[in-house]
Each structure stands twice: as C-alpha cells, then as structure tokens.
C-alpha cells in the first residue's frame, strides 16, 4: 500500500508540472471506492493550483471548480504522461491538461478521486478529519506525542498504523521505526515512557526521511509519476527479513501477525 513517503514522492513529481495547468478533459473508468461527486464537464477549463498532501491524500485545487482529493488505495499509482497511450483495464481516471495527462492506475480499485468545493468542506473535510499530526510538523513535540500515547491502551504498532496520533507510519515504516527506537511492537502505547516516546518520534522521522530520499518503497505496484520504483525496501533493517540476522545483535529477526499485518522485529534489541 502506498504510504506517506510514496504519496509525498508522487506529490513532488506532479506539483511543479501541473501548477497553472488548464484542464482539457476528464475521463472516468471503472468505479473507485467513492464516486467523483461532480459532473466531469464542470472541471474542464479550470486551472490546477498548488498540489498539497495531508496524510496519504493529495489535494488538487482547481480554482473556481473546487478541487480533487485523491487517495492511492492499496495498489494505486499516478503517472504524468506527456503523450498518453490508450488507457488500459486498470486505468480508472485521467485528468488531461495542457501540461500532460495525470492518470491513476489502480488494479484493486481501493483508491479514490473525490471532488469537493474546498479542502475544508465536505466530503474532503470528513475524510481528513480523523487524521493525526504530520510527522514533520514542528507542532508535534515529544511531549505532545507522549501525551497522546498515554491515552492509547493498544499495542504501539497498532497505534502507529491507526494514524490518529501521527500519520505516515505504514507497516514497513512502523516496523523500521520501532526497531530503530528499540521498542517491542506489542508494548502497550500507554506504557511507553517519555524518553522512549521521544526516541520513537525521532526514529519515525528519520525512517520517513530516508524513505523519501530513496523514492519510497515498492513491494508490488507502486511507481512514481515517471514509472520508477522506490528503493527503501532494499535497505530495511528488519522488514521482510524473517530468520535473517539482526544488523545490531546478530540474532534472528522474527515475524508475527498483528491485526492481520506482518510485523518484523528483533526480540533481543526490542524490549517490552
């Protein structure tokens, strides 16, 4: 599933090219998670503003026409095509502009493209309402992060994945950040001390920053807007390394299932 680094890599790829572009046509393919919510013809002629990101959502403002909230779902990716070939069976949305065609490819169709009159108006506001803090937001302090964890009795891995404390920690990045912080993934969030919470927040920020530098992760479907795969997964310390040696202690990396998701960790380095 594309997570925060992959979505931010996508945003960086399309934002400069689409800024000020005029929409020429909109094509809808098979239904996605939610309907568009607008007549595609009403978007034609509008200009694209500065593309922003909130969590794993992208917001494409369209001046007087409102804007589009995009989510890549489980298997989606966006491509910006200067000369778009005929759409394939998994190409479910085209926004054709005078700067190229923004195309959403989503084999599993859990992604979404939703129109809203503004990012702070429904349905966009409802979809974004429960998102936690952005991980690189200076307003997210170690004290605030620790205080939020004290209100959660669930395992810390589950709390990170929920995204209502801090967004962006998808499965691979949650595993890696917990390893870097030396915290067991099953430890209850409200039992994490202030120093360990500060260490975890730092590890999460470092993990996501490195993922951004490496173009995100490609485990199955994700590519950036130029068709390039991410490389973070090749440098992971524990994710996907069950039975292999821990890079710190040399012990075997273990895999368990938490909430139907695989969790990778070192039982020696990561203590409860």
Catalytic residue ranges? 2-3, 56, 261
Q: Map 29-55 to HEC letters.
A: CCCCCCCCCCCHHHHCCCECCCCEEEC
Residues 145, 166: Cα–Cα separation, whole Å: 8
**β-pair type (57-61, 100-105):** unpaired
Choose among 27, 50, 44: nearest CA to 98.
44
Choose among 183, 161, 169: nearest CA to 136.
169
Choose among 80, 48, 91, 83: nearest CA to 66.
48
**β-pair type (52-54, 57-61):** antiparallel
Residues 71, 78: Cα–Cα separation, whole Å: 10
First-last CA distance in the chain = 28
The answer, yes or no, to whether the previous bond of 253 is cis (omega within 30 of 0) is: no
CB 140 within 8 A of CB 169: no
CB 176 within 8 A of CB 238: yes
DSSP, res 269: T
CB 179 within 8 A of CB 255: no
């Amino acid at each position: 599933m594309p997570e925060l680094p992959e979505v931010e890599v996508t945003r960086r790829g399309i934002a400069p090219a689409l800024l000020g572009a005029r929409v020429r046509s909109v094509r809808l393919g098979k239904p996605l998670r939610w309907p568009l919510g607008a007549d595609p013809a009403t978007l034609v002629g509008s200009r694209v503003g500065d593309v922003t990101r909130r969590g794993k959502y992208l917001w494409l403002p369209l001046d007087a026409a409102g804007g589009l909230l995009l989510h890549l779902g489980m298997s989606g990716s966006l491509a910006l095509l200067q000369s778009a070939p005929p759409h394939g069976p998994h190409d479910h949305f085209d926004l054709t502009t005078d700067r190229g065609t923004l195309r959403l490819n989503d084999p599993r169709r859990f992604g979404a493209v939703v129109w809203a009159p503004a990012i702070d108006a429904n349905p966009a506001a409802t979809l974004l309402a429960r998102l936690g803090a952005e991980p690189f937001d200076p307003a997210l302090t170690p004290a605030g992060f620790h205080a939020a964890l004290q209100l959660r009795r669930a395992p810390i891995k589950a709390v990170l994945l929920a995204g209502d404390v801090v967004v962006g920690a998808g499965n691979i990045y949650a595993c890696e950040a917990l390893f870097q912080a030396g915290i067991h993934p099953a430890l209850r969030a409200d039992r994490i001390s202030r120093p360990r919470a500060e260490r975890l927040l730092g590890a999460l920020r470092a993990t996501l920053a490195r993922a951004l530098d490496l173009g995100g992760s490609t485990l199955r479907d994700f590519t950036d807007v130029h068709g390039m795969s991410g490389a973070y997964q090749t440098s992971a310390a524990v994710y996907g390394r069950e039975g292999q040696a821990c890079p710190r202690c040399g012990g075997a990396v273990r895999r368990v299932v938490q909430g139907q998701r695989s969790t990778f960790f070192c039982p020696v380095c990561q203590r409860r």
